[in-house]
Structure 1
Amino acid sequence: MASSEQRQPPMVLISGGGLGGLMLGALLEKAKIPYYIFERAAKVKPLGSAMVLGSTVFPVFEQLGILEDFYKFSLPTKQIVLRNGQLEELATMRMDDEEAIAGYPNRMFARPDLYALLLRQVPKERILLGKKILRVEEDDDKVFIHCSDNSSYEGDVLVGADGAYSAVRQSIFKDMKKAGSLPKADFEDLVAGYTAAVGITEVMDPEKYTQLKDKSHCHFEVVVDSASHSWSVYCLGTNQVCWVAVIQYKSVDEAKQQMFMNSEWGPEMNESFLKEFRDKPNPHGGLMADLIDATPKELISKIYLEQKMFQTWFYKRSVLLGDACHKMLPAAGQGAANALHDAVILANCLYDLKDNTQASVTAAFKSYYNQRYHHAKDCYEVSNVTGKIIAGSTWSDRLVRTIVLKYLPRSFQQKQFEKTNSYKPQATFLPRTPKRGTGYVLPQPPSTRYEEEQKKREAGATVVV
């Protein structure tokens, strides 16, 4: 067994420069583990709309020293108001009493702002743009990636943080199919329940949208009509307005047909989709057309809201993170939170690698999977139910919404909240953030390596990392 002074840190290749990939890079930077992030896009585009994060990620934000910066562009979320197509209130989901339990308030923000914050934590030379991975090869000692620009790279570990249609996952599954070891459930396609358009306006006039004047919390309203359409509006502390327009599919077959007919992803929008929402009432005043027209077209994204929980997360020297292994609906903010959780636990496991042999890498991946899978599975179920409550338009979704919001006792909802927020993973190689709030926090396995090195530092010994 190698001592901490003799450790050779792994070279980590990260496919995908999204939130999960950047978070992993920021953590590896702190752990002094070498890495490169390979992003297929030739340049960074600040796409996305509003997001919400809560207490499960804020302790590690404190460890990284970015929580105060995050607070500068985010607002607390105290409630979500649900309305029907005539803007009549259906229910109000209150969250103003949850900070005392969780230790932090849920906060709403624009995705590009969080992306920019995480991007600043990673040195520019660690991010390689225009690197579309075409092929992955492995042997007992190394993993190799081959990119579309004819460049190749080698490392000890390859992380697939490259989204729902991960090239790394496809490579893993291809090899496992040949070996006959891929679980049957992983053969199945992702399930798309919705199509959405998302955008963030330019800076708006607070005199027109008076909700912008209130900086105490985010004004968050969701409209659900009876024709498979829903739309949401969120006011941000930056005097911008985020909006989401959603069409729900009636069946899996309809979803597949629509995806086949219209494979357009990213900023190029299908105008016919937006036309269905232009005349819809904006719960903050006026029409949705006002917000659509105030949003730069190149910053509007069309996305399919899909979900799938994969059973396979790693194979040989390749491992998956975020949407690549658990694609969740964005309604409860669980997709982003769980990608960040993955990055934290994976960084911890890589930090504790005894050496770079295949046996040690496999052991690290198993530890990562065992620490993360059941938590991610619980969050997957929460995101599914929350999606029905906030965006569901079918009769069964309306039934779920009525039961949850009108008949389930507040105490039941509180217990679910406490369970979800008891999971607050931290980087085990950094000084711990103290417990905040009255709620229970699940214990986390410590880093034996970190504790040993701390003892040596306290004793005045030189520690080589």
Structure 2
Amino acid sequence: MTSSPKDFSVVIIGGGIGGLTLAIGLHTRRIPVRIFESAPRFAEIGAGIACGPNSQEALKRLGLYEDFLQFADFPSRNLFFQWRLAEAEENTLLSETFCKKYGMASIHRAELLDTFIKRVPEEICGFGKRLKSLHQDDGKKVRMEFEDGTVEEADLVIGCDGIHSRVRGALDPTTAGPSAVAGSEKLVWSGTWAYRGLIPRTTFVSALGPEKGEFYAETAQMMLAKDSHLLTFPIQGGKTVNVVAFKTDRTRWPERTAFPKGESWTQETSQQALLDDFASYSSDLQKMLRCIEKPSKWALHQIVPSLTSYTNGRVIVTGDAAHGGTPHQGAMAGQAIEDALFLSHLLAHPKVHNGNLTKALQVYDQIRVPRANRVLESSLEAGDTYEFRGVGADDPQKLGQHLVERFDHIWDYDLDEENEQMNRWIEENL
């Protein structure tokens, strides 16, 4: 915690989970910060998300864990997922994966966001602020122009504006690589559509019958098949079952299929279309999918190639704006939270001030780029692996064993060592 306010100002662009987490981290450390959101209020789209041990540790260090616990669901036995064959009528169990420290918690995005909103003072928030352009000509102040005609200035601008980030376009392609482009122009479709549905537990149990219904309603499952898979886990205190069914177009495999021009990334679809895409699945899984009366489907994109730098002078990106990708390891929200913790520690450090701010940000690149990019790239690979296009592609038992320890590099990340690395770098360079 800093003893006095810093001599630099920060603006955060984007008020999702990553942006709010960072705003809270900076505000509680007395760093002058404002947060601008393009929508008329803070709101999250989507459904359930997962928070592993690494992101739970980060929330503890940000002072947000008690808020998180109000709505988080923890599995019994610290289970992450049971892995099963989707097309076998008995849904053959391959293996189970456990979080060694404490369970992979699940939570509804909107509930997580609502707990954080209460911690952000109203006076530092601006709504209806859609970024139009960024300028940092003199190397000292960053000038932001918004589509409503207003102009703001800050010493540091942090893009938390998601995978479609406009702030990402302010990075330098010569240092950050060809993906340093605003919006979605350079994003690559993974080939996967994700059908999402939230099913009331009572409806879910009724469809499957009491014994199977209760078991699957409270036990996280990943059902695997060639070029598709389906996951389920409970949220909202077990009152709701989050179901996501993934279907991948691999007509150009091992290359990624180009996304159809003019199509929306998020689409309403029919229940019959959903059932047709998973017609080979077991009767129990068909019953689950029939519970989704009005499914939506989401095209999963990724920043490819990964950015080689998240900074350019006094503009930086975090979370999905920096390393947005597929959700196949339940780890992307966690990386945004880790970023928020790192930047809160860095910007609050007594040696960091306006005069050396640009240099200090070099350590963000040095430590967070390799960490977050590894999670990003392994998430895309995980989706392929679940669909028998990776380790154990021809051997379900080998695949099951691989999945037991696949996630340790994410969950066992040492936040203390990361902080020590940052402090050593600051002592040596500032």
Question: Is 1:420 paired with 2:410?
Answer: yes
Tell me which residue corresponds to 2:375: 379
Tell me which residue corresponds to 1:462: none
Tell me which residue corresponds to 1:130: 128
C-alpha displacement of 1:447: 5.7
C-alpha displacement of 1:306: 2.5
Mapped to 2, the partners of 1:221 and 1:15 lie a distance apart of: 36
Change (3 A) 1:125 1:403: farther
Q: 1:83, 1:90 within 8 Å by CA — same for their partners in 2? A: yes
Aligned to 1:319, what secondary structure does the other structure show? strand
Point out the more displaced range, 206-215 or 145-154.
206-215
Change (3 A) 1:277 1:113: farther
Q: 1:192, 1:307 within 8 Å by CA — same for their partners in 2? A: no
Q: 2:15, 2:42 within 8 Å by CA — same for their partners in 1? A: no
CA deviations over 1:313-341 (Å, ceiling 9, x no partner): 11111001011121232111221111111
C-alpha displacement of 1:264: 4.2
Point out the more displaced range, 228-237 or 47-56.
228-237
CA deviations over 1:251-292 (Å, ceiling 9, x no partner): 37773242x141243xx52448546458666747824121x2
C-alpha displacement of 1:36: 1.5
Give the partner amino acid of 2:316.
Answer: V
Q: 2:50, 2:330 within 8 Å by CA — same for their partners in 1? A: yes
Change (3 A) 1:288 1:153: same
Change (3 A) 1:425 1:393: same
Tell me which residue corresponds to 2:264: 263
Q: TM (normalized to structure 1)?
A: 0.76
1:60 to 46, 58, 62: 58
Aligned to 2:380, what secondary structure does the other structure show? helix
Question: Is 1:399 paired with 2:374?
Answer: no
Q: 1:233, 1:283 within 8 Å by CA — same for their partners in 2? A: no
Give the partner amino acid of 2:367.
Answer: Q
Aligned to 2:60, what secondary structure does the other structure show? helix
Q: TM (normalized to structure 2)?
A: 0.81
Identity of aligned residues (%): 21
Q: 2:67, 2:116 within 8 Å by CA — same for their partners in 1? A: no
CA deviations over 1:130-149 (Å, ceiling 9, x no partner): 21101111122211111111
Give the partner amino acid of 1:85.
Answer: E
Aligned to 1:201, what secondary structure does the other structure show? strand
Question: Is 1:111 paired with 2:87?
Answer: no
Q: 1:328, 1:383 within 8 Å by CA — same for their partners in 2? A: yes
Mark the runs of 5 or more structure 1 residues left unpaired by the alignment.
427-440, 449-465
Equivalences for 1:188-337 in 2 at 5 Å?
A: 189-193=186-190, 194-202=192-200, 204-205=202-203, 208=206, 210=210, 218-226=218-226, 228-236=227-235, 237-250=237-250, 251=252, 255-258=257-260, 260-265=261-266, 269-271=268-270, 274=274, 276=276, 283=284, 286-290=287-291, 292-293=292-293, 300=296, 302-308=298-304, 309-337=306-334
Q: 1:75, 1:108 within 8 Å by CA — same for their partners in 2? A: yes
C-alpha displacement of 1:214: 6.8
Question: Is 1:26 paired with 2:44?
Answer: no
**Pairs aligned (count):** 406
Tell me which residue corresponds to 2:83: 81
C-alpha displacement of 1:239: 0.7
C-alpha displacement of 1:418: 4.6
Tell me which residue corresponds to 1:452: none
CA deviations over 1:162-182 (Å, ceiling 9, x no partner): 11121011133xxx35xx666
Q: 1:197, 1:301 within 8 Å by CA — same for their partners in 2? A: yes
Tell me which residue corresponds to 1:144: 143
Q: 2:131, 2:166 within 8 Å by CA — same for their partners in 1? A: yes
Tell me which residue corresponds to 1:94: 96
Tell me which residue corresponds to 1:444: 420
Change (3 A) 1:67 1:185: closer
Give the partner amino acid of 1:311.
Answer: T
Mark the runs of 5 or more structure 2 residues left unpaired by the alignment.
425-430
